[in-house]
Amino acid sequence: MRAKYSGGRGMDQISLDRIVQRAIHVSTLKTRTYSEIARDPNALVEAAIVVVAVAISTGIGAVNYGAGGSVSGIILSLLGWVISSAIIYAVATRVTGTPTTSGSVESLLRTLGYASAPNVLSFLGFIWIFGGLILFLLSIWTLVTTVFAIRAALNMSLTRSILTGFLALLAAAIVRILLSWILGVDIYFPI
């Protein structure tokens, strides 16, 4: 299925089939797909679609917990995705990077958006008894895809990508706590 959108430079097309294929390849850790997404400027809108799909799925999965405000949940997920990418980029370029570290916040946005793809299954979180276990396993899976995304987007070694992810997770937790305290809302950070 193809949907047309007006990108910044004329009329482009987004293929939902391509988004699904890329999401599957990212979820199964196909490194070539991560590199392709990191270099493809058109993948930014696709990655945003993945983030929105994950936000909707998460909202469905949390229905037993009284989760509401799906529109605000989508907006907060998109905001969390952007903030996470900025935090990871800052950690990678200022703390864990090397002279060979390259890439941009945009390439991180693209790869991290797709790296959240396993969480599209978070709608299963409503399943009594097993929901928590499913969500825990999805978190681990997404942690792995996030490390692969960092590695591809910033041309880092696996060890440095893991270290970057860990330090960014700590920084994101602090930012999340501060924003929750200041704004009174919980922002989902996909790292």
Give residue 12's pLDDT band: very low, low, confident or very high (50, 70, 90): low
* Domain spans in the chain, listed from the N-terminal domain onward: 2-183
Prediction pTM value: 0.85
pLDDT tens per residue across span 77-132:
888 899 999 999 999 999 998 888 899 999 999 999 999 999 999 888 878 788 88
What is the rounded distance in angstroms from the CA atom of residue 150 to the CA atom of residue 133? 26
pLDDT-above-90 percentage for the chain? 55
Contact assessment for residue 125 and residue 131, using Cβ atoms and an 8 Å cutoff: yes
Q: For the segment 51-74, what is each residue's pLDDT rounded down to a tens digit? A: 999 988 887 776 655 555 566 777
pLDDT band (50, 70, 90) for residue 4? very low
Separation CA 69–CA 48 (nearest Å): 19
Has residue 189 got a pLDDT over 60? yes
Q: What percent of the chain has pLDDT over 70?
A: 84
Res. 155: pLDDT tops 50: yes
Quick one: CA dihedral 97, 99, 105, 106, positive or negative?
negative
Distance from C-alpha of 186 to C-alpha of 136, rounded to nearest angstrom: 19
Confidence label for 32 from pLDDT (cuts 50, 70 and 90):
very high
**Which of 171, 51, 37 has its CA nearest to residue 116?**
51
- The single residue listed with the structure tokens 């928590």 is 132
Place 33 in a pLDDT band, splitting at 50, 70 and 90: very high
Mean pLDDT of the chain: 85
Instruction: Please give the residue that has the higher pLDDT: either 14 or 146.
Output: 146
Assign residue 29 a region: left if phi > 0, alpha if psi is -120 to 50, beta otherwise? Answer: left
For the chain, where are the E strands, in sequence order?
Answer: 2-7, 10-15
Collapsed DSSP state (helix, strand, coil) of residue 10: strand
